[in-house]
Amino acid sequence: MKKILPILLAVATGMFLIILDSTIMNVAVPKLVDTFHSNLGTIQWVITAYTLALSAVIPLAGWFSDRFTPKVMFLSSIVLFILASLLCALAQTPEQLIIFRIIQALGGGMVAPIGIAMVFKVSPPDKRGSVMGILGIPMLLAPIFGPILSGWLIEFINWHWIFLINLPVGIIAFWMAWRYLPASKPGKEMKLDVLGAILAPIAFASLVFSVHQAGEKGWIDEWTLGSLGLGVVTLLLFIWNELKQKHPLLELRVFRSKTFTHGIILAWMNQMALFGSILLFTLYLQQAKGLSPLEAGLYVIPQAIMSTIGINVGGKLFDRYGVRPIAFVGILSLAGALFALTHITTSTSAFYIMSSFAFVGLGQGLTMMQLNTHVLKSAPIELVNRVTPITTSAQQIMSSFGITITAAYLSNQIRSLPAQHTLEQLGQAFGHTFWITLSFALIALVLTFFLKKSSAPPKKTR
């Protein structure tokens, strides 16, 4: 364990940098609208364009990692991300900021899939739950502390620092990766699946765009339907192409494993419940309770604490008892907390809200990385580089689905309120919307009964 700790910390720092930046932007949108004298629709593209570029580049991570080595690609990604962050801080127009955010995503998109694959490979098989649990800490804490840090920087310094903060963190991440990540020989014989490399970015970016567009314009909007159609068609063509390739871009053959398929569907339901709920937390605290971004961020500190406890305990229990009992307890905690949140109003006490958030955090900690580890363990070890982009891409899409479905239902609830509605009625609309995220959690809870204890990875499928 001591031997791989430096590698683990290096990857965790890089992942924290990327995920923190992804979440820090949400709170900054109103400030950027005022700063650039723009409108919400335009500034929203600062987030949307980043997400689209992220979705496009993630599928390529496996091939680049095999061809140029994981360490080289990890370092290159961090450097590109740091340079793009500096450009974002210097942006003078919304258009410049959108372009620089796309460059940021092209660098940041490969960090997580490459980093997770590296750590998984060097971890002792009997300690993978504990190791991956530690790696999951930045994945859980960054989305929680991102809004707090963003609110503080905007309120007490200026918006430029939400990007400049990436420089010192990025330099530390680069140094740790350069110093501790293991070097390996590039696979020069690896041929690029050119058609797959063209189809994958189009398919994943189109699907994510359609979900974002549906959240703003509805599912019957022509842009929504057009991008959804393009995404589905190119995804089917991509799947057909990958299954007949000797060296596919993404190793889709792992879906022949029932353990892998069941595990990843369960993870999707869990992610939709989690990310939809996190969106509601922020909106409820600021719109219904009237809190500032910084005050709203402080409310989720118990969630962060319980996430950290859950992920450390969950990793050790995973190694000892397998995934099923941990996933059941974690998702039960999440579902119970979401059920409690269906009863919130604007007059709900701070203790009730923070306690509910804390149990959501416990559920996050116990399930998120443990399910991911379970899915990776069901794949042959030599295919992990090509499997982590699948899980990361799917997480990006399913998280977007969860957020969009939740936001659309909330918007419908608010539109159905009287024109002169009270804050109490607004609070009830948020409570009703938590039933949507609860439904995803309940589906995930049912699926946990069909999990089997983790076993040795299967032989490579052909």
pLDDT tens figures, 49-99: 887 788 778 778 777 887 788 888 889 999 999 999 999 999 888 889 989
Rounded average pLDDT over 124-131: 71
d(CA 269, CA 276): 11
- The residue length of the chain stands at 462
Same domain, 215 and 186: no
Radius of gyration of the chain (CA): 21
pLDDT of residue 422: 80
- What DSSP string runs through 87-152? HHHH--SHHHHHHHHHHHHHHHTTHHHHHHHHHHHHS-GGGHHHHHHHHHHHHHHHHHHHHHHHHH
What's the mean pLDDT in 208-216?
A: 74
Residue 461 lies in a domain: no
311, pLDDT greater than 90? no
Cα separation values, 97 from 48, 157, 447, Å: 12, 19, 42
Q: Is residue 9 part of a domain?
A: yes
- Tokens matching residue 94: 């919304």
* Residue at 405: amino acid letter: I
pLDDT at site 152: 80
416: pLDDT strictly greater than 90: no
Check residue 75 and give its pLDDT.
92
What is residue 244's predicted lDDT score, i.e. its pLDDT? Answer: 84
Whole-number Cα distances in Å, 162 to 49, 158, 167, 296: 17, 8, 10, 18
Beta carbons of 362 and 322 less than 8 angstroms apart: no
Q: Are residues 229 and 271 in the same domain?
A: no
Report the percentage of the chain scoring pLDDT > 90.
Answer: 16
The answer as to whether 102 is a domain residue is yes
460 within domain boundaries: no
Residue 462 lies in a domain: no
406: pLDDT strictly greater than 50: yes
Residue-level pLDDT at 424:
81
Q: Which of 257, 256, 268 is nearest to 367 (CA)?
A: 268
In a shared domain, residues 337 and 299: yes
Q: Rounded distance, CA 166 to CA 47, Å?
A: 17
Q: Are residues 119 and 13 in the same domain?
A: yes
31 and 135 in one domain?
yes
In angstroms, rounded to a whole number, what is the distance separating the alpha carbons of residues 164 and 112?
Answer: 21
Among the candidates 192, 210, 238, a domain finishes at: 192
**Nearest Cα residue to 115 out of 372, 312, 371, 305:** 372
Identify whether residues 240 and 280 lie together within a single domain: no
Cα four-point dihedral sign 84, 88, 90, 96: positive
Instruction: Return the ∠ at Cα 49 (arms to 44 and 54), rounded to 5°.
Output: 135
Q: Are 434 and 413 in contact (CB under 8 A)?
A: no
Q: What is the pTM of this model?
A: 0.73
Mean pLDDT calculated for residue range 17-24: 78
Q: Examine residue 380 and state whether it is found in any structural domain, yes or no.
A: yes
| Number of domains within the chain | 3
Same domain for 266 and 219? no
Whole-Å CA distances, 105 to 136, 177, 179, 319: 20, 19, 24, 34
Confidence (pLDDT) at 380: 66
pLDDT-based confidence at 342, cuts 50/70/90? very high
Angle ∠(446,448,451) on CA atoms, nearest 5: 135
Q: What is the CATH number of the domain that holds 451?
A: 1.20.1250.20
Reported confidence tier of residue 461, pLDDT bands at 50, 70, 90: very low
pLDDT digits (tens, 9 = 90+) for 238-272: 889 888 887 777 777 777 778 888 888 898 898 88
Instruction: Assign 3-state DSSP to the chain and report helix, strand, coil percentages, each to 5.
Output: 80, 0, 20
Q: Which domain holds residue 63?
A: 1-192
At 342, list the tokens: 């269906």
Neighbouring residues of 135: CB distance < 8 A, sequence distance ≥ 6: 8, 11, 12, 15, 115, 116, 119, 369
| Structural domain includes residue 44 | yes
Q: Is residue 231 domain-shared with residue 365, that is, in the same domain?
A: no
The 10s digit of each residue's pLDDT in 86-105 is: 999 998 888 899 899 999 98
Are 244 and 384 part of one and the same domain? no
Pick from 173, 192, 211: which residue ends a domain?
A: 192
Residues 33 and 145 placed together within one structural domain of the fold: yes
Q: What is the pLDDT of residue 1?
A: 60
The enclosing H or E element of 14 equals helix 5-35
Residues 248 and 242 sit within 8 Å (Cβ to Cβ): yes
Q: How confident is the model at residue 457 (pLDDT cuts 50, 70, 90)?
A: very low
Specify whether 130 is located in the same domain as 19.
Answer: yes
The pLDDT score that the predictor gives to residue 16 is 84
Structure tokens at 427: 């609070």
The pLDDT, as a whole number, for residue 462 is 45
Is residue 29 assigned to a domain?
yes
Q: What is the mean pLDDT of residues 216-225?
A: 81
Q: Is the pLDDT of residue 458 over 70?
A: no
Q: Are residues 205 and 340 in the same domain?
A: no
In this prediction, residue 409 carries a pLDDT of 80
At 431-446, the pLDDT tens digits run 888 999 999 999 999 9
